[in-house]
Amino acid sequence: MADFKRLTDTMLASGQIAPEDVAEAAKQGVSLIINNRPDGEAPGQPTGAEIQAAARQHGIAYKSIPVSSAGFSLPQVDEMRSALASTRGTALAFCRSGTRSTFLWSMAQAKDGRDIETVAGEARRAGYDISSIRPTMDLLSKS
């Protein structure tokens, strides 16, 4: 069972989820699942298509924004912003550990103009340290 960590009232982050975790996500009011993990990153990892099919069964929208070890790009930040703007309920973003998802969410929040210290505090309370991307967030907040 995946451990959904609450970043805000409408944003959750998690390590890898399995199709059976989608039912719990639905119970928690998730209306959008964002997959930040590339398929085939690790043996035995569920595919995005499997997660997407489970999401459909529970009436949850699904978006894939894979982030590889190559790092983040501005188009990924913009895709995350767009995905989050498209849902009225709670979003759940996942990757291997939840860190990439939290980083991408944090950068999207910075680009949307949210206070960076507030975002950092939300991430910290959920167990994520975003200090390594702080310079990027500072730049995004000025764009």
| Averaged pLDDT, 12-35 | 97
Q: What share of the chain has pLDDT > 70, as a percent?
A: 100
| Averaged pLDDT, 126-138 | 97
Dmax of the chain from CA atoms?
A: 41
For residue 107, pLDDT beyond 90: yes
For residue 92, pLDDT beyond 90: yes
The residue type of 19 is P
In this prediction, residue 70 carries a pLDDT of 84
- Using pLDDT thresholds of 50, 70 and 90, give the confidence band for residue 143: confident
Mean pLDDT of the chain: 96
Domain ranges of the chain: 5-141
Asked whether the beta carbons of 131 and 120 are under 8 A apart, the reply is yes
- Using pLDDT thresholds of 50, 70 and 90, give the confidence band for residue 55: very high
Neighbour tally for 43: CB within 10 Å? 5
pTM: predicted TM-score of the whole model, two decimal places = 0.96
Q: For the domain bounded by 5-141, which CATH number is listed?
A: 3.90.190.10
Asked whether the beta carbons of 98 and 5 are under 8 A apart, the reply is yes
Model pLDDT for residues 113-123, shown as the tens digit of each residue? 999 999 999 99
H helices within the chain, ranges in order?
Answer: 21-27, 48-57, 74-85, 99-111, 116-125, 134-141
